[in-house]
Structure 1
Amino acid sequence: LDKIHQYPAKLSGGQQQRVAIARALAMQPKVMLFDEVTSALDPELVGEVLQVMRQLAKEGMTMLIVTHEMRFAREVADRVIFMDNGKIVEQGPPEAIFTAPQHERTKTFLKAILER
């Protein structure tokens, strides 16, 4: 509440994202959509936003998340869909996709992302 009277420009990117999530939750949605919610954040702020999303997942919120945060996706997803050039390449439970991907494109992507 210490930031309650602050203008958005005075908030960090992570704080702005958390406010946006809170505003969306005020509408009591059945499903929330997140499109690269952490892509514009400083690396130090990413964890704050992902923690809010983890809590939503624990509370049973249905979320459709577009992300390059693969470790996060593996942790919170019930189902993972890997897309390339707008087409679904592979889909399934997180453990299947992350431990035994069937398609070469999925393997190449995960190797590049997870070995950074």
Structure 2
Amino acid sequence: MAKEPAENTSEFDLGDFVEGKKFANFEHDFKGIVEKIYEHSLLVLITENDPEDTATVNEYNHRAVVRMSETKILVKTDNPAPRKSDEEEEDEEEIPEDIKLEDDDAEEEDEEEE
């Protein structure tokens, strides 16, 4: 079963231009664009780096996972992904029981077939 994606409650949005701190083989800080948001970290597409770090950037396929606490937003995106409002969250919680039961029955049938 696939997990539902976690809601983004951080200050970061997809497309933000950020600065990441050096780590591992990096000798200098780098800059890039947020591609994915995890619970406490970000996947950043590295777009600007020191020439000394070119080999490391290539080795990492121009991407790095960085801690949110060690990342600084330089430019916010103009088009952030929509976030759920409080009303939308309440609407999702009100799923009728008969719908829930139908979903559970379908899952049990799938398991029996295997």
Same fold (TM over 0.5): no
Normalising by structure 1, what TM-score?
Answer: 0.26
Instruction: Indicate the structure (1 or 2) with the bigger Cα radius of gyration.
Output: 2
Q: More strand per residue: 1 or 2? A: 2
Higher relative contact order (CA 8 A, sep 6+): 2
